[in-house]
Amino acid sequence: MRRIFVKSRELVVPGTLLAQGPFKYGRGTFREGNRIYSTVVGLVEIRGDAIRVIPLEGPYMPEVGDNVLGKIVDVRFSAWAVDIGAPYEASLRVQDATEERIDLMKTDLRKIFDIGDIIYARIKGYNEINQIDLTTKGMPFRGGPLRGGQLVTITPSKVPRLIGKGGSMINLIKKLTNTRIIVGQNGWVWVSGKNEELEKLAIEAILKVNRESHTQGLTDRIKELLTTRLQELKEQGVIEEIPQIEEPKNGEGEGE
């Protein structure tokens, strides 16, 4: 018998019965017989027939398929060491970074990625000995490093709230601040704008979502924050116009 006892994004504690039946169980859970329980304090995430619990606190715990932001911390003979905010370093091998055939004896890998570069990658593998393998193949920006901008970190479990239902929250921030924003499932967020003040405003909004993700009416408060600050910037001559956004349809916006 298949049955789910909790809702997606419900707060649970260790030992909470989540589901029974042939469900796939991910991080933050364990199976006993045909029942799946939580192992941590966190938020339930249900995707199809898979269930997991994202811890409310603590470092990011990798999962295959996650899209993450990372920082190159070392260049080795045939790979780069990458910090993704997890307890262990990740590795990006040459063959997972480029379609070109590289002669390792003649190529300086720092010309592809150097220490300090920020990359957008996907977790390709994660095993029992805590080896984390990344790939940038098929990722946006042709797998190159992200230039300029600023990097801000939030609690990984709050990433879904920052993105919002159907991308509503992050798109609200992007449109009103006219910035490019990339959100990694590891809680790292890259923000880039042509205007430094708008970049700072986007970051202010992101951090507010992180602090107040558990509260009601957050979308309205973020919109109010942005429009108030934008009006101030317009009066100061920093921007010429305040971007207009479409009002969400009934049932959209809040409750992401």
pLDDT in tens, 190-220: 999 988 999 999 999 999 999 998 888 999 9
Whole-number Å distance between alpha carbons of 106 and 103: 6
pLDDT one-digit tens code per residue, 90-127: 999 999 998 777 777 677 899 899 999 999 999 999 98
Query: Going by C-beta distance under 8 Å and a sequence separation of 6 or more, which residues neighbour residue 212?
Result: 218, 221
Whole-number Å distance between alpha carbons of 36 and 41: 15
pLDDT of res. 102: 74
pLDDT of res. 251: 39
More confident residue, 167 or 99: 167
Whole-number Å distance between alpha carbons of 52 and 126: 16
pLDDT at 58 over 90: no
pLDDT of res. 121: 96
Average pLDDT over residues 135-148: 83
Instruction: Report percent pLDDT > 70 for the chain.
Output: 94
Average pLDDT over residues 64-93: 95
Query: Going by C-beta distance under 8 Å and a sequence separation of 6 or more, which residues neighbour residue 61?
Result: 27, 28, 55, 86, 87, 156
The encoded tokens of residue 202 equal: 């986007």
Q: Give 246's pLDDT tier (boundaries 50, 70, 90).
A: low
Mean confidence (pLDDT) of the chain: 89
The amino acid at 197:
E
Contact (CB, 8 A) for 137 and 96: yes
Whole-number Å distance between alpha carbons of 41 and 32: 18
Whole-number Å distance between alpha carbons of 244 and 235: 17
pLDDT of res. 12: 93
Closest to 98 measured CA to CA, from 138, 129, 68: 138
More confident residue, 101 or 156: 156
Helix spans in 38-185 (H): 159-163, 168-177
Q: What is the largest CA-CA distance in the chain?
A: 65
More confident residue, 149 or 42: 149
The encoded tokens of residue 119 equal: 């990359």
Closest to 133 measured CA to CA, from 52, 58, 65, 55: 65
Domains and CATH numbers, the chain: 7-55 (2.40.50.100), 66-143 (2.40.50.140), 150-236 (3.30.1370.10)
The DSSP symbol for 216 reads: T
Q: Which residues pair with 17 in a beta bridge?
A: 37
pLDDT at 156 over 60: yes
The encoded tokens of residue 189 equal: 């967020």
pLDDT of res. 247: 55
